[in-house]
């Protein structure tokens, strides 16, 4: 029973990281999370330690935990790896994806569009992570999927910054729509190209944002 509770808490916190619920630099308070889920601190602490071991969280003095801060150097290292792995996953998935997965992706695209119109950041991020991960899960390669998910645990909390520019938000769904149309047509190369454009376009925006913040801090 305790193992099941710990696993459920781990999956809940992990899903929150993937969907950008927690922000870079945010401290996670064990007692607050335990109160939120109506449990004792012990299984929460165990779940968080698993995420520390995966690099999704980091420890601080006095045993507190936080979401790692994002730096330009770190994101520069993550982005090309994501491009390679996620692009491959999309192309593999295009040959295997079925009607049920396509219907889930369609729902994600529609809900993301509605969330953008409402400026509902958390709703957009939740469906954004679902769109990508449902698509990647269809690749049929569990090793590739584990690598991608480990990267998403590191970058998911940073995606909230995409909403710092009103004009940018109007483009947040464009490449998802292009990828979905390509998947419907069975065109794996076009689907891969659309997802790589998504990663590159918004990745460059985030890199520029980090560079600007670094320059402001140093002056």
Residue 129 sits in a domain whose CATH number is: 1.20.120.530
- Same domain, yes or no: 50 and 152: no
Q: What is the mean pLDDT of the chain?
A: 89
Final residue in a domain of this structure, among 14, 48, 66: 66
- Same domain, yes or no: 44 and 107: no
Q: What is the pLDDT of residue 218?
A: 65
- Same domain, yes or no: 204 and 186: yes
- Same domain, yes or no: 50 and 79: no
Final residue in a domain of this structure, among 28, 43, 66: 66
Please check the confidence at residue 164 and state whether its pLDDT lies above 60: yes
- 3-class state of residue 58 by DSSP: strand
pLDDT above 90 as % of the chain? 55
CATH of the domain at 62: 1.10.10.10
Domain count, the chain: 2
Between the CA atoms of 82, 88, 91 and 93, what dihedral angle is there, to the nearest 10 degrees? -90
- Same domain, yes or no: 119 and 158: yes
Q: What is the pLDDT of residue 4?
A: 86
CB atoms within 10 A of CB 28: 18
Between the CA atoms of 67, 73, 131 and 167, what dihedral angle is there, to the nearest 10 degrees? 100
Contact between residue 129 and residue 156 where contact means Cβ atoms under 8 Å apart: yes
- Same domain, yes or no: 48 and 105: no
DSSP output for 127-153 = HHHHHHHHHHHTT--HHHHHHHHHHHH
Question: Distance between CA 210 and CA 215 in Å, rounded?
Answer: 9
Task: State mean pLDDT over 115-131.
Answer: 91
Between the CA atoms of 120, 126, 127 and 131, what dihedral angle is there, to the nearest 10 degrees? 150
- Same domain, yes or no: 140 and 155: yes
Final residue in a domain of this structure, among 66, 95, 117: 66
Could you read off the pLDDT of 35-45 as tens digits, one per residue? 988 888 899 98
Residues in CB range of 155: below 8 A, 6 or more apart: 70, 75, 78, 82
- Same domain, yes or no: 120 and 39: no
Of 207, 192, 208, 194, nearest to 84 by C-alpha is 192
- Same domain, yes or no: 112 and 49: no
- Same domain, yes or no: 6 and 88: no
Question: Distance between CA 108 and CA 104 in Å, rounded?
Answer: 6
Q: pLDDT category, 168, cuts 50, 70, 90?
A: low
Contact between residue 197 and residue 175 where contact means Cβ atoms under 8 Å apart: yes
- Same domain, yes or no: 47 and 130: no
Please check the confidence at residue 195 and state whether its pLDDT lies above 90: yes
The whole-model pTM stands at: 0.87
Q: What is the pLDDT of residue 132?
A: 96
Task: State mean pLDDT over 178-205.
Answer: 95
79: which 2 tokens? 């982005």
Please check the confidence at residue 183 and state whether its pLDDT lies above 70: yes
Domain span at 14: 2-66
The length of the chain in residues reads: 219
Of 24-38, 89-103, 189-203, least confident by mean pLDDT is 24-38
- Same domain, yes or no: 111 and 48: no
Please check the confidence at residue 23 and state whether its pLDDT lies above 90: no
Question: Distance between CA 88 and CA 191 in Å, rounded?
Answer: 10
């Amino acid at each position: 029973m305790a193992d099941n509770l710990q696993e459920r808490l781990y999956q809940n916190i992990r899903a929150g990281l993937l969907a950008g619920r927690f922000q870079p630099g945010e401290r996670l308070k064990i007692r607050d999370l335990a109160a939120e889920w109506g449990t004792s601190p012990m299984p929460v602490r165990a779940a968080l330690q698993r995420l520390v071991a995966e690099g999704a969280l980091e420890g601080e003095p006095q045993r507190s935990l936080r979401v790692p801060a994002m730096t330009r150097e770190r994101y520069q290292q993550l982005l090309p790896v994501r491009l390679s792995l996620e692009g491959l996953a999309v192309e593999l998935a295009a040959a295997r994806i079925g009607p049920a997965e396509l219907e889930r992706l369609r729902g994600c695209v529609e809900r993301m569009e509605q969330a953008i119109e409402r400026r509902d950041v958390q709703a957009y991020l939740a469906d954004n992570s679902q769109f990508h991960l449902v698509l990647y899960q269809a690749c049929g390669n569990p090793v590739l999927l584990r690598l991608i998910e480990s990267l998403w645990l590191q970058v998911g909390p940073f995606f909230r910054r995409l909403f710092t520019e009103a004009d940018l938000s109007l483009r947040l769904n464009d490449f998802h729509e292009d990828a979905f149309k390509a998947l419907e047509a069975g065109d794996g190369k076009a689907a891969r190209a659309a997802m790589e454009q998504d990663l590159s376009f918004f990745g460059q925006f985030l890199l520029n944002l980090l560079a600007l913040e670094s320059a402001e801090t140093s002056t």
